[in-house]
Amino acid sequence: MNDTDETTLEDRTARFERIAASETATLLDGAEAVLDGETDVRVVQSPSPKLVMQRATDPVSGQPFNLGEVLVTTSEVELSDVKGFAMVPGKAERKALAGAVVDAAVAADHPVSRDLRAALADDAANRAERRQRAWAESRATTVDFDVMEDPA
């Protein structure tokens, strides 16, 4: 998935991933734009922390295994008969509720959905840039063990 491509948000799974990874401020700003006083949003499931099992795959055998439990917060809303859902890492009720509103608005093609898509894409691009910068900084500390030989 190209992190900066707005069209990937049409795929709900990609949108869930993007919302979960987004900055809280991005989601709160987006939800605030949707909640303009005229849009009716009904909370179906209040934000609630839960534990979910984190699965991983053994790199040698290729077998999946349960790594452990992870704390997430989920929420579900309904906007214009379209449900929105969000699951975000950690105990983050405001982020989960805002993410569900953003998901519903994008799915319902709310008037601000284009702005929401752009904000999520910008957030993902900024995150990718920060990750790339951190990687570049850490590469300077890489130790090359091939050079560390016994001179004898």
Query: CA 80, CA 6: separation in Å to the nearest integer?
Result: 23
Number of domains within the chain: 1
Taking only the tens place, the pLDDT of each residue in 102-147 is 999 999 999 999 999 999 999 999 999 998 988 888 877 777 666 5
Inside any domain, residue 58 = yes
Inside any domain, residue 99 = yes
**Which structure tokens are listed for 136?**
């570049």
Inside any domain, residue 101 = yes
Inside any domain, residue 145 = no
Taking the CB of residue 56, how many other CB atoms lie within 10 A of it? Answer: 11
Inside any domain, residue 123 = yes
Q: What is the pTM for the complete model shown?
A: 0.79
Instruction: Name the average pLDDT for the chain.
Output: 88
Taking only the tens place, the pLDDT of each residue in 36-48 is 878 889 999 999 9
Classify residue 91 by burial, with Cβ atoms within 10 Å: 0-12, 13-18, 19+.
middle
Query: pLDDT at position 2, please?
Result: 47
Inside any domain, residue 34 = yes
Inside any domain, residue 136 = no
Query: pLDDT at position 149, please?
Result: 59
Structural domain containing residue 112: 6-131
Inside any domain, residue 96 = yes
